[in-house]
Each structure stands twice: as C-alpha cells, then as structure tokens.
C-alpha cells in the first residue's frame, strides 16, 4: 500500500468513525406536557431533566406547563405533544367520547396510585363527614377532576342536594374563604396549601379525601401518543427508565428536587412547593395502596371498576374500555420499579 492509499484509507476510516459517532449522538426529541403549572409535583419530571437523565438516555425532552389534565390529553391526541402527565379519568373520558379518533393516547406508567381529589371545607361550616355535604354549596372549575368525579363520591357516601358554582381556578380558594361556598373540590396538595396562603390554618380545614371515603380511583399517569408508541417504543422505554431514576431521588429528597422547579420558574416559593411535593408523595405516590400494588403498575380489577365508574359519572358516549387506555408493555423490569420506601 503506497502513501496515497494509506491517506485514503485513513480518511475513510476517520469518516466512518465520525459518522458512527454522530449517529450515536443523535437524540430523539420528545415534547412533554405537564398537567399543571410548575409547582412541587412537577419536580418528578423537571428533576430528571435537570440532572441530564433524559439526555443520557438519548432523549431531548422539552417539558411545558399545563392547564389541566383534559387539555394535556387533547394536546397529546392532536400530535402537538408526544407525551404528557394527566389524570387517568380524563384519558378515559377522551377515549369513550372519541371512539373513532385514530390518535387516542395511552397510559404507560401510573404515578399517582390514588386520585389526589378531595372535598375541602372550613371547620366553621360544620362539615366533618360526607353526609354533612347534603344540600350544601360546592364550588370548583368545571374541568376540576374532583368535581368531575364527585358523582362517584356522592354515590359511595349517599350525598344529595348539592348545588355547584363554577369559577376560574385562581378564585376557588378565595371564594371558600369569603364564605361564598360551603366546600370546594380540588387536589388536596393544591387547594390545602392555597387556603393556607389565603390565611387559613391547616387545623381549620377539613379534608375529605376521596380514597378515604370509598373512591379508589387512580390518579395521574404518564401518557403517550399512539404514533410514538408505534414508531419508537424504545424512546418510550428510555423515557420511563430515566424518569424512574429521577423519581427515586425526588422521593428521597424533595427539598433538593424543588431546586429544579425553581430553576424553571424563579418566582416559586421553595418552602411552600417542597411542602406541596411532600404532601403529594405521602398521599398519592408513596401511599399504602401504591406500596401494596407496586409503583407504576395498575390492578386489572381496580382499573376495570374505575372504567365503569367513569363511564357512569361522566355520562360518556361509549363505555370506557380499560384495555384500550392502558398498556404495561413499556414498563421497565420490576426491580427497576421499586422506588418506594
């Protein structure tokens, strides 16, 4: 081999190596929509992103705040987002009301094993148990998960005669404090701390958490567009593994994880959002039900019951098919899912 051939061989080898390196460095872009604003629970996703876990898994994940689970489901269904975090009941409703849609998102990992929804009232209203709600004035935004699922709560606890007032989410707790309402529905870790911010003491607030009163609905799950699920299942699996790595750290040290939320929204109150995150972990993530069933998975009979309850309570066009809204095929191995204390 002469000198010219040696040079050509070297250049060809270098080009091939560069090409292989570039291919290896390629990342899969994923647009991810949260269910709500950049608050404490958002650390579950913002922390692994900030730590580079998604990037290390070959993913370029862009995380945006949301304005409700219904909107997240719709945006993933439209193709505007590849993945999202949304209430399973909202996903079920979309499936049942859009039976002919070719782009119905699918839940791939359960994060909130229990719904965070509850009825909250001030003690001075004389409400201490579900039966005290009979004939009372309740309020919540029309899309609020607790309000949508209230018929299930009411049926389980024989609550009747309730009248509803709708409002913007920012006014819900204010109206309760003013006495315009007897009680509100909402996510406990959202409304309880919002009430405190408006002058209420935690000891002054009565919380009737749905899971404590016979309503064993699942809460929020990671959802995926059918397009991504079909075309790049490896990316979905990589996302879930990276998420689990971060979630384990979030559960172990919420105060540190909140720094990732603060980095995305500098005006958040770190102390308040750490409390919110801890409350979410204790009530719906690391709950007794979650520890019994295992993180990330669902119980088939419980899922089927929820599908039936949502069909009735939401008065959907068709019955919810539990097998269509959930798949466990993307879940990491069982050992990897063991992130709860």
pLDDT at 21 over 50: no
Same domain? 271 vs 177: no
pLDDT at 208 over 90: yes
Q: Would you state the structure tokens that stand for residue 332, as one six-digit string?
A: 């990491």
Same domain? 222 vs 109: yes
The predicted model gives 33-45 an average pLDDT of 97
User: What confidence tens digit (pLDDT) does each residue in 43-81 have?
Assistant: 999 999 999 999 999 999 999 999 989 999 999 999 999
pLDDT at 36 over 90: yes
Same domain? 329 vs 227: yes
Binning pLDDT at 50, 70 and 90, where does residue 3 land?
Answer: low
pLDDT in the model for residue 26: 84
Displacement of CA 242 from its chain's centroid (Å): 16
Same domain? 287 vs 148: no
16 part of a folded domain: no
Tell me the torsion sign for CA atoms 33, 39, 45, 47. positive
Same domain? 245 vs 105: yes
User: What confidence tens digit (pLDDT) does each residue in 123-175 have?
Assistant: 999 999 999 999 999 999 998 999 999 999 999 999 999 999 999 999 999 99
The predicted model gives 187-198 an average pLDDT of 94
Percent of the chain with pLDDT strictly greater than 90? 91
Q: How far apart are CA 277 and CA 255, in angstroms?
A: 9
The DSSP line for 176-235 is HHHTS-SEEEEEHHHHHHHHHHTT--GGGEEEEEGGGGT-----EEEEE-HHHHHH-HHH
Same domain? 228 vs 331: yes
pLDDT in the model for residue 44: 98
Q: Which domain holds residue 74?
A: 25-114+218-337
What are the φ and ψ backbone dihedral angles of 54, each rounded to 5 degrees?
-65, -45
Q: Rg for the chain (alpha carbons), in Å? A: 23
Question: In total, how many domains does the chain have?
Answer: 2
Q: How far apart are the first and last CA of the chain?
A: 64
pLDDT in the model for residue 205: 97
User: What confidence tens digit (pLDDT) does each residue in 72-118 have?
Assistant: 999 999 999 999 999 999 999 999 999 999 999 999 999 999 999 99
DSSP 332: P
Same domain? 97 vs 226: yes
pLDDT in the model for residue 4: 52
pLDDT in the model for residue 25: 57
Same domain? 238 vs 322: yes
- The last residue of one of the domains, among 159, 183, 213, is 213
Same domain? 106 vs 130: no
Displacement of CA 157 from its chain's centroid (Å): 26
135 part of a folded domain: yes
The predicted model gives 253-281 an average pLDDT of 96
- The last residue of one of the domains, among 213, 231, 262, is 213
pLDDT averaged over every residue in the chain: 93
For the full predicted model, state whether its pTM sits above 0.75.
yes
11 vs 61, higher pLDDT: 61
292 part of a folded domain: yes
pLDDT in the model for residue 10: 47
34 part of a folded domain: yes
8 part of a folded domain: no
- The last residue of one of the domains, among 213, 243, 270, is 213
Distances (CA, A) of 187 to 29, 41, 157, 325: 31, 12, 19, 22
pLDDT in the model for residue 60: 98
Same domain? 106 vs 222: yes
pLDDT in the model for residue 341: 79
Return the CATH number at 81: 3.40.190.10
Same domain? 199 vs 277: no
Q: Would you state the structure tokens that stand for residue 55, as one six-digit string?
A: 């990037």
């Amino acid at each position: 081999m002469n000198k010219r051939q040696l040079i050509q061989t070297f250049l060809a080898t270098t080009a091939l190596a560069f090409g292989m390196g570039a291919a290896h460095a390629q990342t899969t872009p994923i647009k991810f929509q949260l269910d709500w604003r950049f608050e404490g629970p958002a650390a579950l996703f913002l922390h692994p992103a900030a730590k580079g876990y998604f990037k290390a898994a070959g993913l370029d994940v862009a995380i945006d705040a949301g304005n409700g689970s219904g909107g997240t489901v719709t945006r993933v269904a439209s193709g505007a987002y590849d993945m999202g975090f949304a209430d399973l009941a909202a996903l079920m409703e979309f499936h049942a009301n859009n039976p002919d849609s070719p782009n119905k998102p699918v839940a791939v990992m359960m994060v909130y094993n229990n719904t965070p929804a509850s009825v909250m009232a001030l003690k001075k209203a004389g409400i201490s148990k579900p039966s005290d709600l009979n004939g009372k004035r309740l309020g919540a935004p029309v899309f609020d998960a607790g309000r949508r699922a209230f018929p299930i709560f009411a049926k389980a606890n024989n609550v009747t005669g309730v009248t509803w007032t709708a409002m913007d989410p920012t006014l819900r707790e204010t109206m309760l404090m003013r006495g315009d309402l007897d009680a509100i529905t909402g996510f406990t870790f959202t409304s309880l701390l919002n009430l405190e911010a408006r002058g209420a003491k935690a000891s002054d607030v009565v919380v009737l958490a749905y899971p404590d009163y016979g309503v064993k609905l699942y809460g929020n799950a990671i959802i995926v567009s059918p397009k991504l699920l079909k075309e790049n299942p490896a990316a979905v699996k990589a996302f879930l593994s990276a998420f689990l790595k971060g979630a384990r750290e979030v559960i172990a040290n919420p105060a540190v994880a909140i720094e990732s939320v603060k980095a995305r929204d500098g005006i958040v109150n770190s102390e308040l959002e750490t409390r919110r995150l801890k409350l979410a972990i204790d009530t719906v993530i690391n709950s007794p039900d979650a520890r019994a069933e295992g993180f990330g998975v669902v119980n088939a009979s419980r899922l089927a019951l929820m599908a039936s309850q949502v069909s009735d309570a939401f008065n959907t066009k068709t019955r919810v098919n539990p097998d269509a809204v959930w798949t466990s095929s993307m879940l990491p191995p069982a050992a990897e899912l063991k992130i709860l204390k």
